[in-house]
Structure 1
Amino acid sequence: MHSVCMRSYTSSVQTPVRVQPVAAPDQPQVTPALKTLYRGFEDEFLVPLWTEIGDLMPTHPRPGATPHVWRWDRLRRLAAQAGELVPVGRGGERRAIALANPSMGGRPFATPTLWAAIQYLMPGEDAPEHRHTQHAFRFVVEGQEVWTVVDGDPVPMRRGDFLPQAGWNWHAHHNATDEPMAWIDGLDIPLQYAIESQFFEFGRSEISEAERGTPDRSRSERLWAHPGLRPVAGLTSGRGSPLLAYKWKHTDRALSDQLALEGEGYQATVEPGHAAVRYTNPVTGGDVLPTIRAEMHRVARGSETAPTRDTGSSVYQVFDGSGTVSVGEHTWSVSRGDLFVVPSWQEFSARSEASASDSDSGALDLFRFSDAPVFEALGLHRHDAEDAVR
């Protein structure tokens, strides 16, 4: 009688839940009663842990993203074609073309937490003002003389510059030159999409003449871009770094000095031939954005980094030089502008094959951004170097 009552409404229930009995040593014996129990679970939208624990609690991360490389020359060519065909304006907002990881069902996500896109602005064009809760940055691998205007502050963008922008700040872009320009955008769109936290708001369709200025340094740089110094004016950093542009000349010098000090016998590098710097908030010393970590790595010619793996995912762009990178079971030759993904807990290493013919520094320079601040804040970050990987 009990089983009849339990199934009396089955035909009216539409449920996506499917619980299948499995004949296995760690599973209960498959009997008609067990099958009836499982149908009852389905009708009530319930899933027993003992049938799912292998997927829900694996022995190590099983990333949803796949290692993949995108070639800069192809991205640049397609972006230029889009520049001729696709207008920039209210509604479309940006001529941004996102990297879609092959394993993420066609969604415009590089990894489950990170968005990466090439953005392209034609001569004289403006990208209209808007704001969003997603934290963002721009990184310039080629070109110059586009300005991003953040809360009324025009910030110049040039090759090698890193420009973070915390969420919910008004921003627009304008190209004051007669040449198109391309750069990469990084955002935490997939993360905020997954946790259903995102907001977006349109701003003005046109920025003011004052904001269309072309200063060599933004107001944020004049106030904050003095190494080791911060203003004593009671200013706070808000949700991210108040410094809106980290200039390549400073990054380049820091990396060069690390390798030079290593050559003089001092311990200054991550490992032999591998210099690295992290972009930081001048107020807190922490990451520039709450959900994104950004770094620049320089691998001297002939040097190879030790294999490492981390929880969380990363996107890399080759800023300069050439070399070979290995991600999990994949190995690629890469050169300036190429982008590639390192999914969670996938082994990564890079070997520099750069020279003066393809690199200003003679080394392989890699820009990296990751979701490490999120994992660290949740106590979930884990890093294994060569000894743990092998």
Structure 2
Amino acid sequence: MTSRAIADIRGAENLDDLYRVFNENHLTAGWHKKRSSLWPEPRTSFQPLNWRYAEAAEAMDRAGAWMSTEDAERRNLLMFNPVDDNDYDTVRTLVCAYQMIKPGEYARTHRHTANAMRLILDAEDGVFTVVNGIKLPMRAGDVLLTPNWHWHSHYNEGAANAYWIDVLDVPLVHRLEPMFCENLPGGHQEVTSVPDPEACPFVFGLERMRAELEQAPARADGTRRHRLDIDAHIPTVAVTYIDMPAGGRMAEPRTTASRILAVLSGAGAAQVGERRFEWTRGDVFCVPSWHAFEVQSASPALLLEVSDEPTLSKLGFFIRDPAQPK
């Protein structure tokens, strides 16, 4: 403190006088905080929300008539949660977006410290992404990884628009603050490798994942799950395929993890906290931290869940509500 602050403290005649000195010197009396910093259980202002693929695809098609990837670099629609002035984060640690690329377009090459993964919704032959020089086809139903600080770009040499869902841990990086981003000079990266997609660690093909699910034991609720082994490439998130039979019901208790679920096939409904909504192929819904949720399938369905559970587990912060059954 400055000598003036010491003089002001000595001249204080009551606590209110002291509080004014504290505030001027960027100090807060722990017994006189404006708001609590500790609470008995997790709380979040993030809301359960859902987004519809049909609406997003229509909107991106419409936007595509007026702007190209040259104009915007990425033609994407961010699914944001209306928390304060937020217009980016889907849940506290993850952002999800729909993206579209038209025939003949490419999305310029860049890299960043955030990790990314992509669930391909609709793409014909000739659509691909390049990750550190590795050419990967973008096939409907596949999941592609883009680990942090890997150069990546997207191309459409086919005859139809291509659509996918991006999930990134950008909000987590924002909060920890190690964000770096760099554009590749010239915009195009050279293709140096064209591997067999089924042997590439950045590709999880739909058919292979269906085979893995068939080998997975059915749970008591009838669902089968297969969690991708991606920790060596993206250690911050868990990616899990969930297979549900027609008439299936999956109920999950509150946990400290935040989740985003995308629908690969089928239709049904979800109850997340107090919010209920219908879902079908390509739709997305989010489960913020400390929200119980239930998913019901009206037909055989395949869902993809992305959660921040690995980050919380590594830090010792993943907690399941002990008052609710597993």
TM-score normalized with structure 2 length: 0.90
Residue among 88, 91, 96 paired with 1:111: 91
Asked if 1 retains the 8 angstrom alpha-carbon contact of 2:257 and 2:308, the reply is yes
Partner letter of residue 256 of structure 1? E
The CA deviation string for residues 265-285 of structure 1, in whole angstroms up to 9 with x for no partner, is xxx12333111111113xxxx
Partner letter of residue 194 of structure 1? R
Q: What is the match of residue 274 of structure 1?
A: 223
Partner letter of residue 8 of structure 2? M
Q: Secondary structure at the match of 1:219?
A: coil
Q: Secondary structure at the match of 2:36?
A: helix
Closer, same or farther: CA 3–155 of 1 in aligned 2, 3 Å: closer
Q: Shift of the alpha carbon at 1:78?
A: 0.9
Q: What is the match of residue 311 of structure 1?
A: 256
The CA deviation string for residues 244-268 of structure 1, in whole angstroms up to 9 with x for no partner, is 110000112222344xxxxxxxxx1
Separation (CA, whole Å) in 2 of partners of 1:271 and 1:119: 36
Q: Secondary structure at the match of 2:318?
A: coil
Q: Which runs of 5+ in 1 are unaligned?
A: 9-31, 226-242, 259-267, 355-362
Q: What is the match of residue 182 of structure 1?
A: 163
Q: What is the match of residue 6 of structure 1?
A: 8
The CA deviation string for residues 53-111 of structure 1, in whole angstroms up to 9 with x for no partner, is 9631111111131111111111111111122212213x732112211111252321101
Q: Shift of the alpha carbon at 1:41?
A: 2.1
Separation (CA, whole Å) in 1 of partners of 2:19 and 2:179: 37
Separation (CA, whole Å) in 1 of partners of 2:286 and 2:218: 24
Matched, 1:301 2:264: no
Partner letter of residue 388 of structure 1? Q
Closer, same or farther: CA 54–104 of 1 in aligned 2, 3 Å: closer
Matched, 1:253 2:211: yes
Q: What is the match of residue 17 of structure 1?
A: none
Q: What is the match of residue 374 of structure 1?
A: 311
Asked if 2 retains the 8 angstrom alpha-carbon contact of 1:298 and 1:366, the reply is yes
Asked if 1 retains the 8 angstrom alpha-carbon contact of 2:53 and 2:283, the reply is yes
Asked if 1 retains the 8 angstrom alpha-carbon contact of 2:52 and 2:283, the reply is yes
Q: What is the match of residue 268 of structure 2?
A: 323
Structure with more relative contact order (C-alpha pairs < 8 Å, separation 6 or more): 2
Partner letter of residue 36 of structure 2? D
Asked if 2 retains the 8 angstrom alpha-carbon contact of 1:75 and 1:118, the reply is yes
Q: What is the match of residue 153 of structure 1?
A: 134
Separation (CA, whole Å) in 1 of partners of 2:232 and 2:247: 31
Percent sequence identity over matched residues? 29
Q: Which moved more, 1:40-49 or 1:107-116?
A: 40-49
Matched, 1:388 2:298: no
Closer, same or farther: CA 3–125 of 1 in aligned 2, 3 Å: closer
Q: What is the match of residue 136 of structure 1?
A: 116
Closer, same or farther: CA 51–327 of 1 in aligned 2, 3 Å: farther
Q: Secondary structure at the match of 1:383?
A: coil
Q: Shift of the alpha carbon at 1:52?
A: 4.2
Q: What is the match of residue 79 of structure 2?
A: 99
Separation (CA, whole Å) in 2 of partners of 1:364 and 1:129: 35
Structural RMSD (CA): 2.7
> Which has more strand, going by share of residues?
2
TM-score normalized with structure 1 length: 0.76
Separation (CA, whole Å) in 2 of partners of 1:378 and 1:51: 30
Matched, 1:219 2:156: no
Q: What is the match of residue 290 of structure 2?
A: 345
Q: Secondary structure at the match of 2:149?
A: coil
Q: Where does 1:37-56 land on structure 2 (aligned, <5 Å)?
A: 37-52=18-33, 55-56=36-37
Q: Which moved more, 1:374-383 or 1:301-310?
A: 301-310
Q: Shift of the alpha carbon at 1:204?
A: 4.2
Asked if 2 retains the 8 angstrom alpha-carbon contact of 1:271 and 1:305, the reply is no
Closer, same or farther: CA 384–142 of 1 in aligned 2, 3 Å: farther
Asked if 2 retains the 8 angstrom alpha-carbon contact of 1:128 and 1:204, the reply is no
Separation (CA, whole Å) in 2 of partners of 1:47 and 1:312: 31
